[in-house]
Amino acid sequence: MGRCHEISYKYLCFNAFLMIRYSAPGKIILFGEHAVVYGEPAIAIAIDKRFRCEISKSGQNRTTINGLIFDPEKQNYLNCAMEKLGIDEELEIHTSSELISGAGMGSSAAVTVASIACLRGLTDDIDKKNIAKMAFEVEYEVQGNASPIDTSTSTQGGGIILSPTKNSGFLWSIKKGETTWNIHKSDIPKLNLVLGNTGVHSPTGKLVAKIKEFYKRSFFARDIVNQVGLIVQRGHEALKNEDLVEVGRLMDQNQHLLSCLGVSHPKLDALIDAAREHSYGAKLSGVGGGGVMIALTDEPEETSKAIEEAGGQAYILPSTNKGLKLE
C-alpha cells in the first residue's frame, strides 16, 4: 500500500483528473514584528496582493513547478509542506505571485498557506484553524523560528491581532514551547497605507535568527521587545478609536525601537524619512534589514511620490478581507 493510501483518511490522493487551485494573500504588519516571536502582541492586515497555486498529479515521473524540475532547496516552504503532509507522489505545480518575495510582505506565508490547502486536496470546508497551524509549523521549521502572525493573517484575511490573552474576536490559539499566541480578528478601520519597497532582498530566517541570539544574550534587546509590546497595545486602542494621529505617532515609536534592535536599514530609513513629510507615521514592516516600509497617510499620491524620489518603489495598498480562497 502506497503512503498516500495510508494517509488518505486525512488527505485526498491526487488523481489524474483532480486539479486544485488556491490563493492566499500577503500581509503587512502594522505593529509588533520581531517582538511577536517572543509572545508580545502584534497587529497585521491582509493585503490585496495574492499568491496563487495550482497542483495536480504529474503525468511524468517527476515533480515540476512552472514547467521546471522541482528543486527542494529553492522551494523550501513547499518542500517542507509536502514532507509534513507525507506527499510522495509526483506533482505538477503551477504558481504565480503578485507579492515580492524576501521583502516583508508575507510572501512565504502565502506560499505555504495556499500550497498546504492544495496539497491537502481540499475542495470544500476549508479548516482555516488547522491550515494556519500547519503553515506556522512549516514556517517555523524552514526559518528556525517564527510567530504565527503571517500565516494566520494569510489564512484568515482582514485585520488580525495576536496577543498572549484571549479577547473578543478570538479565532484560534497556536502554541510552541513556552509561548502561546491567541489569534483574533480585529476590525481595523479603513486606512490609507502606502508601501515602499527598498529593493533590498532580506530573507526572514536569517534576521529572525540574529535577533534570537541578541534576545538571548541581551537585557537591552529583551527590554526593547517589552516596549514594542506596550506600543502594540496602545496602537490597538488608537485603531479602535480611529485616532490616526496617535496610530501614526506609535508607528514612529515602533520604528525607533526596531532601529534600536538593529533591523532597520539605511534605505528603509531614507524611505521612512521621505514618507513622513506627508504621513501620520511610518515604519518598516515585516522582517526589516531591507524589504518594505509602510506609511499611514491622507495623501497617498504625495507619499508615493516622496518614496519614489527617495529611491523606492511605492504602492498604494488596498487591504482585503479575503484570506485563503479556493479558486
By CB under 6 A, name the binding residues for ligand PMV: 33-34, 36-37, 104, 106, 108, 146-147, 149-150, 204, 208, 286-287
Min dist CB 19 to ligand PMV, Å, is 29
* DSSP per-residue string spanning 135-161: HHHHHHHHHS---SHHHHHHHH-SEEE
Output 281 or 291, the one with its CB closest to ligand PMV: 291
- Which are the catalytic amino acids? 150
Min dist CB 93 to ligand PMV, Å, is 22
Output 153 or 279, the one with its CB closest to ligand PMV: 153
For residue 319, give the DSSP letter: B
Min dist CB 291 to ligand PMV, Å, is 6
Min dist CB 324 to ligand PMV, Å, is 17
Output 64 or 173, the one with its CB closest to ligand PMV: 173
DSSP H or E run through 266: helix 266-276
Output 106 or 229, the one with its CB closest to ligand PMV: 106
Whether residue 168 contacts residue 57, with contact meaning beta carbons closer than 8 Å, is answered with: no
Give which of 139, 84, 134 is closest to 106, Cα–Cα. Answer: 139
- When CB distances to ligand PMV are compared, the closest residue is 286
For residue 34, give the DSSP letter: T
